[in-house]
A and B are shown apart, each in its own frame.
Chain A
């Protein structure tokens, strides 16, 4: 296995506040990595830095051998990094199918897309598969704005997968989901294992246990620990950092 994403002493300084402070991490190809940490630990900021949403003030992000630090967002996305946001971000005034059509990007150029119809007669097989994977086949003509919370999370996940990204960043994919929906989500994510490298930010430890290989714990912008679930749960530093909240399991 080779390293797909390498983060070296990454740092961002918001007027004196270092949200991410000398962070290092390496993700292997096909790996499913879970990122945990208390609120304000810098997890979402880290994702912003990887995807170019926030510009770093120090350090380096290397993806597939390319230095992608502080590149424009769409360029990083085109390089092969997909991202699912914490709050479901779908196109509310478009139908589920149109949402997928937008995400299905054979070409990103304005000129080429002028020749592409918005409603091709034939449903693309890739879109069809994504709809099945996310159980949205029956909702293809529903406006995305009227989907349930869980469904819109899956829709966004499906859209991100349409890009066929080599690395997928998932920011709390089960936030606000029912137990049943969470189960289904971990099924979907488990199904992606191996095909894509994945980084998941998550709080829900049952969920983490059901999908996890390696956990990275973030604390105050720094890496606190890295290892398997057992290793992390018995890690002295982690227990200290979560002191008073009964350990990581209840974080």
Chain B
């Protein structure tokens, strides 16, 4: 058995990543851990992009929509768990503060009817309902959107335009929904996510571990998924959709499936972000944010799940350090742009592709050297 093979090296890279992520709390303070946990969430988003863009060839420029939905669903539950926000209502009838501020005079102070849509909040009193919705809603939207698009054989740049447009449309609706979800200001002053008495204060090591473990599980799960036959069929669809169709596969269903999985990961990332950052806002659905996700994946290597994930983390760490260094305060965006340009021009397969090529070359040399020595 060869020990040094390409797939073993890949496994080792995954293992190393997980070990490093798990050991970080030993060397970092909670302030940086909180930051890194947000970057891990971004890493999850990049994994979702890598799955849909790299593996399935579906360029989704509206991933922020799914992220935003996940975030809002959990934020609604956490808002109802926030003591400071709720003390403005009566103690046994929790009503979010902003609803009171925008309510009509004389409206009953009750979630059922303080305004027209407020009853929708009632089930969110149960935190797990919010969590479930944070997964179900993105998947549901992805299913309807994906089914409509892929049945009609919409592909390529039109998918990018449609998803982008839908994301912006929803963003407008969110901003418009002042009484229901506090519009432009988003949901702030949230309570803590609580499991069995443990409150996940964003500046706790436990919270870092919650996010880190889920990120690693998503990474492993995504890797498993692309290594099943479904994953290969999907890559085949990316290469040549017609051919797959005439082999008898229902191409649309396969695409819808991955689109939904990608949306679910984005929704999960949205929820974790709310736990780490303690707010949800319409900025999650900005064009810039959705495009950033694609940039992270492109820099890290969209054909590698781990690469895309690392790309997101590295770019954000660089961004944070550069933007806070006094010399670069004015120019940090230029630096990020330059990194992006450099990688795309010099390493079209991203950092992961670059390292993979280097490893392949090293392995080849090594194996040749071993052979020669044996021959002698």
| Interface hits, B211-258 → A, CB 8 Å | 225-233, 235-236, 238-240, 242-251, 253-254, 257
Are B227 and A119 in contact (CB-based, < 8 A)?
yes
Q: How far is the CB of A136 from the nearest CB of chain B, in Å?
A: 16
A143-163: CB near B (< 8 Å → 1, else 0) gives 000000000000010011001
Set A85, A94, A110, A119: member contacting B257, Cβ < 8 A: A110
Are A51 and B246 in contact (CB-based, < 8 A)?
yes
| Interface size of B in residues (CB-CB distance below 8 Å) | 27
- Indicate if A226 sits at the interface (CB-CB under 8 A): no
Are B232 and A108 in contact (CB-based, < 8 A)?
no
Complexed CA–CA distance, A110 and B239 (Å): 18
Are A89 and B253 in contact (CB-based, < 8 A)?
no
| Interface hits, B316-354 → A, CB 8 Å | none
B243-282: CB near A (< 8 Å → 1, else 0) gives 1111111110110010000000000000000000000000
Q: How far is the CB of A154 from the nearest CB of chain B, in Å?
A: 15
A44-87: CB near B (< 8 Å → 1, else 0) gives 00000001000000000000000000000110011000110100
| Interface hits, A79-103 → B, CB 8 Å | 82-83, 85, 89-94, 98-99, 101-103
Interface bin, chain A: 20 to 34
Set A77, A85, A93: member contacting B235, Cβ < 8 A: A93
- In the complex, what residues of A have CB within 8 A of residue B229's CB? 101-102, 113-114, 116-118
Q: By CB atoms of chain A within 10 A, which of B233, B242, B247 has the most?
A: B247
Are B245 and A74 in contact (CB-based, < 8 A)?
yes
Q: How far is the CB of B71 from the nearest CB of chain A, in Å?
A: 28
Are B239 and A74 in contact (CB-based, < 8 A)?
no
Are A118 and B240 in contact (CB-based, < 8 A)?
no
Complexed CA–CA distance, A197 and B225 (Å): 37
Complexed CA–CA distance, A186 and B324 (Å): 70
- In the complex, what residues of A have CB within 8 A of residue B250's CB? 74, 108
Set B231, B232, B236, B243: member contacting A85, Cβ < 8 A: B243
- In the complex, what residues of B have CB within 8 A of residue A94's CB? 232, 235-236, 239
Which residue of chain A has the shortest Cβ distance to B250 in the bound complex?
Answer: A74
Are B230 and A105 in contact (CB-based, < 8 A)?
no
- In the complex, what residues of B have CB within 8 A of residue A103's CB? 247
- In the complex, what residues of A have CB within 8 A of residue B249's CB? 74, 105, 108
- In the complex, what residues of A have CB within 8 A of residue B254's CB? 110
- In the complex, what residues of A have CB within 8 A of residue B238's CB? 93
Q: By CB atoms of chain A within 10 A, which of B228, B229, B245 has the most?
A: B229
Complexed CA–CA distance, A97 and B168 (Å): 43
Complexed CA–CA distance, A91 and B251 (Å): 15
Set A82, A89, A92, A101: member contacting B242, Cβ < 8 A: A89
Q: How far is the CB of A80 from the nearest CB of chain B, in Å?
A: 9
Q: Quick one: given A93-B235, A94-B235, A110-B254, are A82 and B228 in contact (CB under 8 Å)?
A: no
Complexed CA–CA distance, A16 and B228 (Å): 47
Complexed CA–CA distance, A92 and B244 (Å): 13
Which residue of chain B has the shortest Cβ distance to A144 in the bound complex?
Answer: B239
Are A117 and B228 in contact (CB-based, < 8 A)?
yes
Complexed CA–CA distance, A51 and B230 (Å): 24
Q: Quick one: given A73-B246, A83-B246, A159-B247, are A90 and B240 in contact (CB under 8 Å)?
A: yes
Which residue of chain B has the shortest Cβ distance to A79 in the bound complex?
Answer: B248
- Indicate if A115 sits at the interface (CB-CB under 8 A): yes
- In the complex, what residues of B have CB within 8 A of residue A118's CB? 226-229, 231-232
Set A92, A102, A113: member contacting B247, Cβ < 8 A: A102
- In the complex, what residues of B have CB within 8 A of residue A116's CB? 228-230
Q: Quick one: given A101-B229, A116-B229, are A163 and B247 in contact (CB under 8 Å)?
A: yes
Are B243 and A89 in contact (CB-based, < 8 A)?
yes
Which residue of chain A has the shortest Cβ distance to B225 in the bound complex?
Answer: A114
Q: Quick one: given A78-B248, A105-B247, A105-B248, are A85 and B242 in contact (CB under 8 Å)?
A: yes
Complexed CA–CA distance, A114 and B230 (Å): 6
Are B230 and A110 in contact (CB-based, < 8 A)?
yes
- In the complex, what residues of B have CB within 8 A of residue A110's CB? 230, 253-254, 257
Q: How far is the CB of B271 from the nearest CB of chain A, in Å?
A: 24
Are A92 and B246 in contact (CB-based, < 8 A)?
no
Are B233 and A113 in contact (CB-based, < 8 A)?
yes
Q: How far is the CB of B136 from the nearest CB of chain A, in Å?
A: 19
**Seed contacts A114-B229, A119-B227; 7 additional CB < 8 Å A-B pairs:** A77-B246, A78-B248, A82-B246, A91-B239, A93-B239, A99-B236, A110-B230
Q: Which residues of B contact A (CB under 8 A)?
A: 225-233, 235-236, 238-240, 242-251, 253-254, 257
Closest 3 CB pairs of A and B: A77-B248, A116-B229, A91-B239
